[in-house]
């Protein structure tokens, strides 16, 4: 049943956002528990760093990205809460089954299942959030939703690290996978499906788009194409860093997974919360003056992230954790504004699909290529540089973020024209026309 927006639903909108935040937290916990377990899995299954890069990168990202397109298409046409709840149940079961893997191939198959389920989450959730919150609050709403990354990463590192030390790496997957099944029921039974476009200032076009119309609409949006690739390149550097940092610290400083997981998880929780919420709030505030801030702000954050990562990798002692903390603030702040502007420049019936395309490139370039390239380079550098080969490989991957900044800034130049075109199609007056009416 579809539900229209009203004053009475505003409090309920925050409830829906809270449920989606919990779902997204479980999403990232189930995804990130693997990261703190890479070194024990490597020893147990006798794997190379290249294999670990495939497992944590391309294995997950390829399925996640490719499955996300048809599932997002389904979400644009059907009940989105059901799509998310079904995906949540699937990835929770497959996370649990990861603990039963007796070989690399079996673990790959289980992670395929996790990726398939998780691909149903963010595109449909982003479309729901866009219908529960008006445009001027969306970056803030997406930032709150994005806090799930921080919570999930912190839980994955801490829970996975201690479960591994106490009971072994297999038990960590059991602990991480089971809570999602109960949450799937809560989501399905308590979240209502809203009317599409209900939060827009004017009635929106609800027509279904053919495949050809979809392709033409998306390809005509130059800013979207530019910043989507830019976001992927930010994530290329960021995911290589986040995936391999625990492994680097374990090898270089001989730290245990329990203490390291708790320490990094605490840093991720605080810095990620600061960065994610601040990114959304700042983008919404500055975006009211000029919508290009939805891209200028992420480009600025990524530009700051690069030297901070470099300092972490090439500094010793306790101060390097300060650089890790500051790096995570920057890396967690650019996602929400870019998802928010995507909802603004796309028709309502293409929002989930456009978000899926955003995540497709994000995941193929970022979580897919980033950890894999870093692992591949680490294996190449290891014979010459030993443990420091991993540090060198992570340094090389910083070039991705530099290229991403350039593309995103170019996308910001094209953004006003794209917004104007979409506004005309929806019957929304231009800023100049609104100013004339006010006079």
pLDDT of residue 432: 41
Q: Choose from 36-40, 181-185, 201-205, 264-268 the range with maximum mean pLDDT.
A: 181-185
pLDDT one-digit tens code per residue, 46-101: 888 888 877 877 777 778 877 877 887 888 788 899 999 999 999 999 999 999 98
Query: In the chain, what are the domain boundaries?
Result: 2-197+214-430
CB-side neighbour CA atoms (13 Å) of 100: 8
pLDDT of residue 199: 57
pLDDT of residue 434: 39
CA 285 to chain CA centroid, Å, is: 22
**Is a pLDDT exceeding 50 seen at residue 1?**
no
CA 359 to chain CA centroid, Å, is: 7
Instruction: Answer for the pair 145, 20: CB distance below 8 angstroms, yes or no.
Output: yes
pLDDT of residue 93: 95
Q: Report residue 321 as tokens.
A: 């954790």
Mean pLDDT, residues 6-19? 77
Give me the percent of the chain exceeding a pLDDT of 70: 88
Instruction: Answer for the pair 171, 47: CB distance below 8 angstroms, yes or no.
Output: no
The structural architecture, per CATH, of the domain 2-197+214-430 is: Up-down Bundle (1.20)
pLDDT one-digit tens code per residue, 96-140: 999 998 888 999 999 889 989 998 888 889 889 888 888 777 778
**Is a pLDDT exceeding 90 seen at residue 15?**
yes
pLDDT one-digit tens code per residue, 264-294: 888 888 888 899 889 888 988 898 889 999 9
CA nearest neighbour of 366 among 103, 124, 60? 60
Mean pLDDT of all residues belonging to the chain: 83
122-126, 157-161, 194-198, 372-376: segment of lowest average pLDDT? 194-198
pLDDT of residue 157: 84
pLDDT one-digit tens code per residue, 23-41: 999 998 988 888 888 888 9
Instruction: Answer for the pair 10, 137: CB distance below 8 angstroms, yes or no.
Output: no
pLDDT one-digit tens code per residue, 215-257: 677 777 889 989 999 999 999 999 899 888 888 888 888 877 7
137-141, 195-199, 292-296: segment of lowest average pLDDT? 195-199
Q: How many residues in total does the chain contain?
A: 439
Q: What is the pTM of this model?
A: 0.70
CA nearest neighbour of 199 among 247, 138, 118, 259? 138
- The 3-state secondary structure of the chain reads CEECCCHHHHHHHHHHHHHHHHHHHHHHHHHHHHHHCHHHHHHHHCCCHHHHHHHHCHHHHHHHHHHHHHHHHHHCCCCHHHHHHHHHHHHHHHHHHHCCCCCHHHHHHHHHHHHHHHCCCHHHHHHHHHHHCCHHHHHHHHHHHHHHHHHHHHHHHHHHHHHHHHHCHHHHHHHHHCHHHHHHHHHHHHCCEECCCCCCCCCCCCCCCCHHHHHHHHHCCHHHHHHHHHHHHHHHHHHHHHHHHHHHHHHHHCCCHHHHHHHHHHHHHHHHHHHHHHHHHHHHHHHCCCCCHHHHHHHHHHHHHHHHHHHHHCCCCCHHHHHHHHHHHHHCCCHHHHHHHHHHHCCHHHHHHHHHHHHHHHHHHHHHHHHHHHHHHHHHHHHHHCCHHHHHHHHHHCHHHHHHHHHHHHHHHHHHHHHHHHHHHHCCCCHHHHHHHHC
């Amino acid at each position: 049943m579809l539900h229209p927006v009203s004053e009475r639903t505003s409090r309920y909108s925050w409830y829906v956002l809270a449920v989606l935040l919990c779902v997204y937290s479980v999403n990232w916990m189930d995804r990130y528990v693997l990261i703190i377990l890479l070194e024990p899995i490597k020893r147990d299954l006798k794997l190379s760093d290249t294999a670990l890069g495939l497992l944590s990168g391309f294995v997950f990202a390829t399925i996640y990205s490719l499955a996300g397109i048809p599932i997002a298409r389904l979400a644009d046409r059907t009940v989105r809460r059901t799509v998310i709840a079904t995906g949540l149940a699937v990835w929770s079961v497959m996370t649990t089954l990861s603990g039963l893997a007796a070989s690399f191939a079996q673990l790959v198959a289980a992670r395929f299942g996790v990726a398939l389920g998780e691909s149903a989450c963010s595109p449909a959730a982003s479309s729901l959030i866009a219908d529960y919150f008006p445009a001027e609050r969306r970056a803030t709403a997406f930032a709150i939703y994005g806090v799930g990354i921080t919570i999930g990463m912190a839980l994955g590192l801490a829970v996975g690290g201690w479960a591994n030390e106490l009971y072994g790496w297999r038990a960590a997957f059991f602990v991480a996978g089971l809570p999602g099944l109960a949450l799937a029921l809560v989501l399905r039974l308590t979240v209502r499906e809203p009317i599409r476009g209900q939060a827009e200032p004017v009635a929106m076009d609800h027509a279904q788009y053919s495949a050809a119309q979809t392709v033409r609409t998306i390809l005509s949006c130059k800013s979207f194409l530019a910043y989507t690739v830019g976001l992927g390149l930010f994530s290329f550097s960021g995911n290589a860093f986040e995936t391999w940092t625990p492994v680097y610290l374990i090898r270089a400083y001989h730290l245990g997974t329990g203490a390291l997981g708790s320490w990094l998880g605490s840093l991720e929780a605080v810095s990620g919360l600061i960065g994610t919420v601040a990114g959304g709030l700042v983008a919404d505030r500055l975006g009211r003056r000029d919508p290009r801030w939805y891209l200028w702000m992420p480009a600025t954050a990524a530009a700051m992230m690069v030297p901070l990562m470099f300092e972490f990798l090439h500094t010793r002692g306790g101060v390097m954790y300060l650089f890790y903390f500051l790096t995570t603030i920057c890396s967690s702040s650019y996602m929400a504004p870019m998802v928010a502007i995507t909802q603004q420049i796309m028709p309502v019936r293409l929002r989930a699909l456009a978000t899926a395309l955003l995540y497709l490139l994000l995941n193929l370039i970022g979580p897919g290529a980033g950890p894999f390239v870093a692992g591949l380079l680490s294996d190449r550098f290891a014979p010459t540089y030993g443990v420091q080969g991993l540090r060198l490989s992570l340094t090389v991957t910083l070039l991705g973020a530099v290229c991403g900044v350039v593309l995103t800034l170019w996308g910001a130049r094209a953004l006003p024209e794209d917004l104007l075109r979409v506004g005309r199609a929806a019957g929304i007056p231009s800023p100049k026309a609104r100013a004339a009416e006010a006079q």
